Structure 1
């Protein structure tokens, strides 16, 4: 028996989930207007079913006279055949259809994968769903608007169902973090779907976060009451009851767990270890003892969310509260390389918290600071101080470790040392630095291919290389996505990995919804991570949620005011202020951005755009002249970079660049 030859691949591929994109044998194909794109999208969505000419003309030209609408349709069909070839459109009298053998479309593939229902098919289907159907095509015709709204809702519900089914499959495979992400993505598309809420609750419980799952149920009940005037359905309430039983059965930690808590860091771990000694109360008020202990415990919790650190458990740290031992002796007992200590003093209606970090080997003070806060709500104050301290201590330890690695002989570098050296170059934000960082991080991975932080750092370097003017391989974007995905799979609780994965999905992959979900998960996993808040802010800045971007980016700057990534977060701020029309603020932050990193090309561009916005045209042109003396960027280049995802904002930005002297 002879085998049937596989069907030839279509000459054109059409992506409609998210932004409209048509690719041909020679790359992207542009269509001259939105209605032509809309016609092709409609024929692709309804293929291979033939569509009556009158229906097509009414759909896109219903507001015109009948004769003019028919003429417009004939012209549109002629133009499509000119672009796609004569065989792409089949005509049978008054009926027109698209030949799927010539033009392949993601809609048909998406529907087939969802119908398949197997794990791999569902995973592929959810990857295909990059956003609402043709979310960048606007056609002001009633017929089109009604069809598009209905089709978007149908496809969105298919996607939600696929995500929930995928999450259930992930749960059955014991991958709770993956199930949680599937549920969160489904919820982002439709917050009224209780099957998605139940998936999130089960995933949280499976990940050992049972109390959080119950708290989530309460939030769902509140939301449903507010939005629909009703409560969760019977299945959701039954699940909550099961989780309450689990919670009630939890008793004190087992003896083995207590022993593990009292132990020091794992022998052989190359991560730096930090112990937080109980903060001392120097105010004389015994009530402040509780506050001091609360701050200490919260700092330990906040620091433990930085996966790059080994943080000594609270039980071990508090055991040394009143012992007459030196810091050196305590460090030896705990096996800690760094000790964080401090004291708290109340004066009137204000609290002062002083903290210092010491390297136990050299007994050198690595960092110290103090925090003065008004004494208003004691719990809010405790959260504020602990998150602020943790946010600064983690990068300080990282910087100290980087300096240690840089002093080691090149012949004696471990995978961790190479990773640290790579970070030093990566955070500098220069073309030369990112090239060197990528090389060092690749060397590190060659020695340890499963280090989550290295996978994520290399992915970040590959994503940041093109904006910095560094040349990368054609498949660098795909490699970055793969590395970041591996990092999340290696450690689903790593905020840094989730933030990087979110940015790679949002940027190179163009999957706005899922990119933001991962970035939001990073801020939930580690609310003290300036990097996580910065990435979420950048995604919102480019994606159009400008007011939220400003909040997130300011949060990042407050958490880590000396961070080497400041120039990037400041660039996001100046971009958001440009989009909001607050150009004076944009100029201020753009100047800060380029002052922190003179190599920041996007920062210079945003400075020029905001200067145009306030009417200082000569200054804007001078910025462009200085920047283009070495880097001849054009409007075409900037359009391809697509810093702003929203069409109107992008066009306004490009117009400002033209006014500032950027060549076409």
Structure 2
């Protein structure tokens, strides 16, 4: 049975069962002297006074949950995984933090549904003190834990043994330990449906949020006085956003909308409401030489609850492992279903060289200045990245786009180098949507709409959630006469990017102009604060067709005010696919007094 149908058939009953089990677990924790610190999303984090109590509580709650599940249909049963570790923890803002939490969380992620895994530190403290069996699983390497650790599976004895254990529950002697025992408990539904997914589904109906889990990645904040780390913070924020957007079941807000909150006090509830998302990912970055420390947290915006947090310390070459772990954790916590092939495709690191990545991020920052000098600097940085890693596809792609910008702005005579770099990027990374997107942009500039359509469509197949891709691809659809899909794509792009740039309006206006909807075209273009010349021509043509023309002299004055050397030389070579659309465009130019030119 599909998840939505499962909840839709008995939404109230499913939620009631989950809350009933959560209260049951809380009761066992309390009965054994434990304290619950975090119940966000589908996880529960608790601290116990001793390893014996932690394991005893876990055995009891698993037995009780198993017993209650026997009276419930299999497809509605809820199971828990438990990981237990002994380690140092720190209480901060009523939350537990520290390495002990990280190990416990990694253990629970490897446990079976309904199972319990413990670390060797716990095993040595409880051995011979509980009526339970222990199966050694050997030394396991846990993610972000530098040294493999021995782990054990806890196996309850028969029920009679467990009953005698419970009768003796009050007779034990607590074991004094120097640090708290961190227990991370994650609840999952069978078939990988989770309580977090239940909450996502129900709240989307209550609050009008997207049905799929929705998230915005807020700009990483650079700690300390070194503002030069801004490019690294901004680059990682953009890349994490882009990689999350590639998961088809996630609704991810564009990074440029999130950057509106850079270096500003953030109230997560207000920001979540403004961006129209349920979850926010926040973080900080601090770099000392080659060493990088990143702290990240996932927050449920409406309730302001912290769902997950972690801290990463690494050398520069590990930055991709950190990025991958953050993405995987967010996807898991938001209950996003993803098959193995999709995960493998998305989680590929862009380069093995941290230094090459550093130059690549600097190049992107310079490109975003949109000046001739900035573009020149960007090309240099991308070239350095390529020299350090000749297989770095994204660096080739961005270098191609920078050279394409040279050609579009008249700073270069030919797009040949842009085409060669973009083609090389696709050959290096055929499953990276961005490489196909850049090559499509080159083909559009060359007026090769068939090749552009092929590359845009491939980019769209790989990532249909990048709003800039949607809006730019819409131009191609408009030139091909597919205005309905063009309008739909731009409207979705605007939803994914609430702080969308004005060129989205221009793209939407082109679609409506192609649809012969001149009133909407005028409305969209007059709302823009700065019209490029081609958009202004579209405005003038629409007004002329509505019977409200602008005087030809006034049109030429406006066009020359933006570009004193403007000529109509290229206007008869717009990439319309259909003859009637080309005729429609040329007739419009004639109506506003723009003379025909010869090729």
Please give the range of the TM-score, normalised by the shorter of the 2 chains. Answer: 0.3 to 0.5
| Larger RCO (CA under 8 A, 6+ residues apart) | 2
Q: Judging by fraction of residues, say which structure has more strand.
A: 2
TM-score (norm 1): 0.39
Q: Judging by fraction of residues, say which structure has more helix.
A: 1
